[in-house]
Amino acid sequence: MFMGEYRHNIDAKGRMIIPARFRDELGNRFVVTRGLDGCLRTYTMAQWDAVFEQLKRLPSTKRETRMYIHMLTSKAAECELDSQGRILLPAALITESKIEKECVVVGVADHVEIWAKERWDDYYNEASASFEDVAEQLTEFLV
């Protein structure tokens, strides 16, 4: 399980540290792609294979399917940890996520997300303000 929040910087070459707590479970190679809410989402290689299988089952005649697949796969990148526990994020993903220097790496149960610091702080503050209301609405799904 991935959990926790870690603040790091991305260097001028686009390299960022993956927290040590996440490295073993992610493995040396994993996929980073566009996520929801403005973040980047990471998939282990096994998870990415499962996502790919699910994508193949979607009806390709539906425009929404094609749009979703394009958005998920067009900028997806296989990343590999270097000897210092860093990955090189492609420029397209850095631009997509609006990461300038400071970023936040968040463990989200079954995956890891990478956020621009400002985006994460805004999202977190908004989510915090409605946390109890959301929990109440979702209670029926948690039992």
- The closest alpha carbon to 87, from 42, 137, 35, 56, belongs to 42
> Candidates 3.40.50.970, 3.40.140.80, 3.40.50.300, 3.40.1550.20; correct CATH number of 2-139?
3.40.1550.20
| More confidently predicted of 123 and 134 | 123
| Per-domain residue ranges of the chain | 2-139
Dump pLDDT digits (tens) for 18-39. 999 999 999 999 999 999 999 9
Say whether pLDDT at 83 is over 90: yes
Q: Give the number of other Cβ atoms within 10 Å of residue 55's Cβ.
A: 14
pLDDT, residue 140, reads 81
What is the model's pTM? 0.92
